[in-house]
Structure 1
Amino acid sequence: MSTLEIRDLHVNVANSDENAEPINILKGVNLTVRSGETHAIMGPNGSGKSTLSYAIAGHPKYEVTSGTITLDGENVLEMSVDERARAGLFLAMQS
């Protein structure tokens, strides 16, 4: 049974002004998703839904500054983007 666990996740994104500090988008996210469960991540525009997805998938624009993401106890943050995709953690855009 697969389990994705996110604990106290904090994620930054680079500021468009290169001289400014990065913007902290996610602050202390906790989430557990077990095999067979369905979860909906909902919220208004700009609340961090896409940022969470991109951080899990390993998009280089997003920096995890603290917290953990594990899949079946394995540290996702130590996986390459390709390893994450092979484990089933990827984004598929709809047209």
Structure 2
Amino acid sequence: MARIAAQTGRTTSVRSSTSTIFGNAMTGSAILVPNASIAAAGRLLEREKTFSDRPPGAAFWYENSNGLAEIAVNQGRADRDLAIGIPVEIVS
């Protein structure tokens, strides 16, 4: 089981969006701390507004169109490149 640590103060389950072509890990949780970092797969992921804010191959998280934290890799796949699987947990 992969573990994702976030500054959320709660634990929640996460699903990896392997049903899409992108492979992003959708947390299903809003992160209310504006500049929170998420630790995933031994990396500290910073929040970005767009994919182009990070170089190709760089992992990060962003607020998706539903207002939820989503982990992604620019021009890559978070599920494969970070070995994020199902289930994943966000822990404080």
TM-score, normalised on structure 1? 0.30
Answer 1 or 2: which has greater helix percent.
Answer: 1
Structure with higher RCO (Cα < 8 A, 6+ apart): 2
Question: Which has more radius of gyration?
Answer: 1
TM-score, normalised on structure 2? 0.31
